[in-house]
């Protein structure tokens, strides 16, 4: 991908977070988060463990509730109204660290369940869509197996396909490769890179810095519940401004 | 070779791959089996011999008693005559009182075909629920079955089961209309609608509607025998599983009132012996309902047993729910499934599968506990034996044969339930862990 094309995104706003705060009981996990994601942007979020990365992206599809501030996804504001929450969730796909496939359903059923029940798509059509995306993540031949019969890398690719079957406008990834054996990381990253090249809006919590360099237009560094630094990947890695970022980068790149 | 000292070489490269070979065959044969399983050591051999002796003693005294049993006499005295001092069973009572043991002593004999038909229809209705591979269309019959069975067994005007059906259908429609707003709204709205329909419809059914009905009415107090145990068992199990699910989910609810009600209900019911609940049903519940509402004793007992086992099932299912990883609900949420869908499609299938052994345990216990109704003067099979049969002059004193028969009946049913549940667990095995 040419550098200029990579950084070029539309000026349509996909997600806008303003002055968002969240507490777990009295513990202030997210502090004054301001973040605007434009359509087609690929954002990588990194930071030390416990800094609130997962919490941030889980707030975006209301898996966690925020207590202050505003989150607007695709023009719909996240409030306690269940209708809005369900609408946003069906527009936003999410992949988890531990895949969270449904073990009692086959791979194909995992992929067709939400389209059939949420989008009310006929079963036949949902199966065709599912096979299309399973082919895309290169495991169409596993469609009739159960998740427990697949390797970790395959399961994570199924999880990506399952989200894609809902035709989401935004994809969230929470450390999608950190539960995988090293030889499986690449197959998942390749799938994600392909997705990025097709112009999917992505927010990705990951420590795969190679991936960040290759596809991200922005890298965000979080610490102690705050956004400490954000920049284009080249600048971010070559010329980090804040001390905490430098320390973090030296720890994960330093060996 | 230059390397003359005895240091083991570190570097190693395999040149020939090791081909796969079959596992070693272990020695077999009956003698070998005996040696390995029954007489492996002196201690075990001794245990084997003692066990064989105990089995011999038990069988040698009970088998002649059973096999030499008398089947064709009309009273215990005649049995004694025929046996002429020999010790053997007097099974004639089972033959002579078969109908009473099965249907109680008041159910009109000319209508025995009705509960029998209801029993066989029950097998058809239960099949698609028990065996997931059968066509799903059969569930329509399962849904209609309770009303058909009610009509067959109790008879009377067909308007009553139709009204009950109408209440359920309208309640379900209300549920599916309101559930999109919130699950609680749909759930309680549906129940409320059903009750309103039943109440209004009850006013509409004319007074003497049952007098000339196609199937003459049979009163609840005329039901009895093993039929009553089966009816209570089947009704209460099939009602208490959904109620138990609702209670278990309610206990996890975010709504404090719902949660509170469920917790208090479960803890209270579990803390009380079933027999006291049954006495409440037989005596006191009449005071709680309005004076002119004659709530049927059968219905009152069903309510009590159902509540009792639902509380236990709720706790079993809560264990199943707690065993699921949190990520399952999150994944369902993140795909946009609403609460009812997430529960029905993702959470409950997995939680129920884990809970099968516990639920079966409760169901088997419930089925056997239906004999407790004999204490509140209902004539189930135990009530029949203790009451009319043993009290009769012909059969006074035939304890062993009668209670053995009751025990065998219960054992057959409970053992089938247990075998079925083990089959189901294997059938649902998809983890491949
Ligand atoms: N459900 C919860 N209740 C209370 N504290 C939590 C909960 N989830 C996470 N936390 C805390 O919030 C902080 C941020 O967590 P998280 O967003 O998972 O961090 P990260 O993903 O960056 O490692 C951590 O200190 C964690 O202990
Ligand atoms: Mg995390």
Return the structure tokens found at B312. 């236990």
Which pLDDT score is estimated for B420? 92
- Cα B99–chain centre separation: 24
Hey, which CATH number is domain B223-433, 1.20.140.10, 1.10.260.40, 1.10.1200.10, 1.10.3720.10?
1.10.3720.10
Predicted confidence (pLDDT) at residue B341 exceeds the cutoff of 50: yes
What strands lie across the sheet with A218-223, from one edge to the other? A92-95, A170-174, A201-205, A42-46, A218-223, A226-231
Which pLDDT score is estimated for B358? 93
Q: Is B328 on the interface with A (CB under 8 A)?
A: yes
Cα separation, B250 vs B241, in Å, equals 14
Give the other-Cβ count within 10 Å of B420's Cβ. 14
CA distances from A188 to A98, A157, A181, A185 (A): 13, 6, 11, 5
Q: Is A2 on the interface with B (CB under 8 A)?
A: no
Predicted confidence (pLDDT) at residue B221 exceeds the cutoff of 80: yes
Contact yes or no for B160/B220 (Cβ under 8 A): no
Average pLDDT over residues B17-43: 79
- Closest Cα to residue A111, out of A148, A140, A72? A140
State the maximum Cα–Cα separation within chain B, in Å, rounded to a whole number. Answer: 114
Cα separation, B303 vs A127, in Å, equals 45
Give the other-Cβ count within 10 Å of B219's Cβ. 14
**How far off is chain B from A63, nearest CA to CA, in Å?**
7
Predicted confidence (pLDDT) at residue B2 exceeds the cutoff of 60: no
Q: Is B63 on the interface with A (CB under 8 A)?
A: no
Q: Is A123 on the interface with B (CB under 8 A)?
A: no
What's the mean per-residue pLDDT of chain B? 87
Q: What is the residue with the minimal CA distance to atom 17 of ligand 1?
A: A52
Contact yes or no for A157/A189 (Cβ under 8 A): no
- Closest Cα to residue A185, out of A211, A205, A158? A211
Residues of A whose CB is below 8 A from B337: 113-114, 117-118
Predicted confidence (pLDDT) at residue B18 exceeds the cutoff of 50: yes
Predicted confidence (pLDDT) at residue A5 exceeds the cutoff of 50: no
Q: What is the residue with the minimal CA distance to atom 7 of ligand 1?
A: A24
What's A141's DSSP letter?
G
Q: Lowest mean pLDDT of A57-71, A84-98, B25-39, name the range.
A: B25-39
Predicted confidence (pLDDT) at residue A3 exceeds the cutoff of 60: no
Cα separation, B415 vs B368, in Å, equals 12
Which pLDDT score is estimated for B289? 64
* Inter-chain residue contact B327 with A114, CB threshold 8 Å: no
Question: In degrees to the nearest 10, what's the CA dihedral of A223, A227, A232, A237?
Answer: -20
Cα separation, B123 vs B142, in Å, equals 10
Work out the angle at residue B373's Cα, subtended by the Cα atoms of residues B372 and B376, and round it to the nearest 5 degrees: 115
Residue of B nearest to A117 (CA): B337
- Phi/psi of residue B68, nearest 5 degrees: -85, 10
Return the structure tokens found at A132. 């299309």
- pLDDT per residue as tens digits for the range B116-129: 999 999 999 999 98
Residues with CB under 6 A from ligand 1: A 24, 27, 29, 47, 49-55
**Which band of pLDDT confidence, cut at 50, 70 and 90, is reported for residue A1?**
very low
* Inter-chain residue contact A103 with B430, CB threshold 8 Å: yes
Q: Is A103 on the interface with B (CB under 8 A)?
A: yes
**Which band of pLDDT confidence, cut at 50, 70 and 90, is reported for residue A2?**
very low
Q: Determine the atom of ligand 1 nearest the C-alpha atom of A25.
A: 4
Cα of A253 vs centre of ligand 1, distance in Å, is: 24
List Cβ neighbours of B99 (8 Å cut-off, separation of 6 or more).
B109, B112, B225
Predicted confidence (pLDDT) at residue B291 exceeds the cutoff of 60: no
Average pLDDT over residues B93-112: 90
Predicted confidence (pLDDT) at residue A8 exceeds the cutoff of 60: no
* Inter-chain residue contact A118 with B341, CB threshold 8 Å: yes
Ligand minimally distant from the alpha carbon of residue A221: 1
Which pLDDT score is estimated for A4? 45
Give the other-Cβ count within 10 Å of B403's Cβ. 15
- pLDDT per residue as tens digits for the range B400-411: 889 999 999 999
* Inter-chain residue contact A104 with B350, CB threshold 8 Å: yes
What's the mean per-residue pLDDT of chain A? 89
List Cβ neighbours of A56 (8 Å cut-off, separation of 6 or more).
A30, A33, A45, A222
Every domain of chain B with CATH number 1.10.3720.10 lies at: 223-433
Residues of B whose CB is below 8 A from A170: none
Predicted confidence (pLDDT) at residue B357 exceeds the cutoff of 50: yes
- For chains A and B, count residue pairs whose Cβ atoms are closer than 8 Å: 71
| Dihedral of alpha carbons A23, A26, A32, A33, sign | negative
Which pLDDT score is estimated for B295? 67
Query: Ligand 1: which of A22, A55, A227 to mutate, judged by most atoms within 8 Å of the beta carbon?
Result: A55
- pLDDT per residue as tens digits for the range B124-166: 999 998 888 888 888 999 999 999 999 999 888 888 888 889 9
Q: What is the residue with the minimal CA distance to atom 20 of ligand 1?
A: A50
Return the structure tokens found at B426. 């294997």
**How far off is chain B from A106, nearest CA to CA, in Å?**
9
* Closest by Cβ to B331, choosing from A62, A96, A148: A96
Predicted confidence (pLDDT) at residue B425 exceeds the cutoff of 80: yes
Residues of A whose CB is below 8 A from B430: 103-104, 146, 148
Cα of A15 vs centre of ligand 2, distance in Å, is: 20
List Cβ neighbours of B119 (8 Å cut-off, separation of 6 or more).
B230
- Probe site for chain A from B327, B332, B336, B338 (most A CB atoms < 10 A): B336
Alpha carbon distance, N-terminus to C-terminus of chain A: 29
Percent pLDDT > 90 in chain B is 47
DSSP letters along B290-325, please?
-TT----HHHHHHHHHHHHHHHHHHHHHHHHHHHS-
Residue of B nearest to A89 (CA): B336
Q: Is A86 on the interface with B (CB under 8 A)?
A: yes
List Cβ neighbours of A11 (8 Å cut-off, separation of 6 or more).
A38
Could you list the beta-strand ranges (E) of B147-238: none
- pLDDT per residue as tens digits for the range B81-91: 888 888 888 88
Return the structure tokens found at B27. 């020695």
Length of chain A: 255
- Cα B37–chain centre separation: 36
Q: Is A7 on the interface with B (CB under 8 A)?
A: no
What strands lie across the sheet with A13-24, from one edge to the other? A27-38, A13-24, A68-73, A76-77
Cα separation, A101 vs A176, in Å, equals 13
Q: Is A237 on the interface with B (CB under 8 A)?
A: no
- Closest Cα to residue B325, out of A186, A104, A223? A104
Which pLDDT score is estimated for B33? 79
**How far off is chain A from B90, nearest CA to CA, in Å?**
53
Which pLDDT score is estimated for B294? 60
Which pLDDT score is estimated for A106? 93
The more confident residue out of B433 and B118 is B118
Return the structure tokens found at A29. 């996990």
The more confident residue out of B280 and B431 is B280
């Amino acid at each position: 991908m040419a550098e200029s094309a990579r950084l070029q995104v539309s000026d349509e706003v996909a997600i806008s977070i303003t002055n968002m705060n969240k507490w777990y009981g009295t513990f202030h996990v997210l502090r004054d988060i301001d973040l605007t994601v434009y359509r087609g942007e690929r954002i990588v979020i990194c930071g030390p463990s416990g800094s609130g990365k997962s919490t941030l992206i889980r707030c975006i599809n209301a898996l966690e509730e925020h207590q202050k501030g505003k989150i607007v996804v695709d023009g719909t504001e996240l409030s306690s109204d269940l209708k809005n929450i369900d609408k946003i969730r069906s527009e936003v796909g999410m992949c988890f660290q531990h895949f969270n496939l449904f073990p009692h359903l086959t791979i194909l059923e995992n992929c067709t369940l939400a389209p059939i029940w949420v989008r009310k798509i006929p079963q036949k059509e949902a199966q065709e869509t599912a096979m299309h995306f399973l082919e895309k993540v290169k495991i169409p031949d596993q469609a009739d197996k159960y998740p427990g019969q697949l390797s970790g890398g395959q399961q994570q690719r199924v999880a990506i396909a399952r989200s894609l079957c809902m035709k989401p406008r935004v994809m969230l990834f929470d450390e999608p490769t950190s539960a995988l054996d090293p030889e499986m990381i690449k197959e998942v990253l390749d799938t994600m890179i392909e997705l990025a090249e097709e112009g999917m809006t992505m927010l990705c919590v990951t420590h795969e810095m190679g991936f960040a360099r290759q596809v991200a237009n922005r890298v965000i560094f979080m610490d102690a519940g705050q956004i400490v630094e954000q920049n284009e990947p080249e600048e971010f890695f070559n010329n980090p401004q804040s001390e905490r970022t430098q320390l973090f980068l030296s720890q994960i790149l330093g060996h | 070779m230059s390397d003359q000292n005895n240091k083991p070489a570190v570097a190693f490269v395999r040149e020939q791959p090791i081909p796969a070979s079959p596992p070693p065959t272990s020695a077999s044969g009956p003698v070998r089996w005996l040696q390995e399983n029954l007489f492996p050591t002196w201690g075990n051999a001794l245990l084997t011999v003692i066990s064989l002796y105990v089995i011999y003693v038990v069988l040698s005294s009970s088998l002649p008693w059973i096999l030499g049993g008398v089947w064709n006499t009309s009273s215990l005295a005649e049995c004694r005559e025929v046996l002429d001092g020999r010790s053997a069973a007097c099974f004639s009572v089972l033959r002579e009182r078969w109908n009473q043991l099965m249907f109680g002593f008041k159910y009109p004999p000319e209508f025995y075909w009705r509960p029998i038909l209801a029993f066989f229809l029950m097998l058809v209705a239960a099949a698609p629920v028990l065996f997931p591979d059968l066509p799903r269309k059969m569930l329509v019959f399962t849904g209609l079955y309770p009303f058909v069975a009610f009509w067959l067994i109790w008879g009377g005007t067909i308007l009553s089961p139709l009204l009950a059906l109408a209440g359920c259908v309208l309640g379900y429609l209300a549920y599916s209309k309101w559930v999109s707003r919130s699950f609680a709204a749909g759930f309680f709205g549906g129940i409320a609608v059903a009750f309103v329909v039943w109440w209004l419809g009850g006013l509409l059914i004319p007074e003497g509607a049952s007098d000339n009905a196609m199937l003459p009415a049979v009163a609840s107090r005329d039901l009895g025998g093993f039929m009553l145990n089966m009816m209570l068992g089947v009704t209460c199990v099939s009602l208490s599983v959904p109620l138990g699910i609702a209670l278990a989910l309610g206990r996890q609810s975010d709504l404090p009132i719902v949660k509170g009600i469920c917790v208090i209900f479960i803890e209270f019911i579990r803390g009380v012996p079933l027999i006291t609940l049954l006495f409440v049903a037989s005596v006191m519940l009449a005071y709680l309902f309005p004076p002119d509402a004659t709530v049927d004793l059968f219905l009152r007992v069903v309510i009590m047993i159902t509540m009792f086992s639902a509380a236990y099932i709720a706790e079993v299912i809560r264990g199943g729910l707690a065993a699921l990883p949190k990520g399952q609900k999150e994944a369902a949420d993140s795909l946009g499934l609403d609460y009812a869908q997430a529960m029905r499609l993702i959470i409950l299938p997995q939680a129920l599968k884990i809970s099968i052994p516990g639920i079966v345990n409760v169901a088997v216990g419930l089925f056997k506990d239906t004999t407790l109704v004999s204490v509140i003067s209902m004539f189930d099979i135990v009530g029949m034996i203790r009451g009319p049969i043993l009290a009769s002059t012909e059969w006074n004193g035939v304890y062993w044969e009668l209670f053995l028969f009751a025990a065998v009946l219960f054992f057959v049913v409970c053992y089938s339930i247990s075998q079925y549940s083990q089959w189901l667990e294997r059938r649902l095995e998809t983890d491949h862990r």
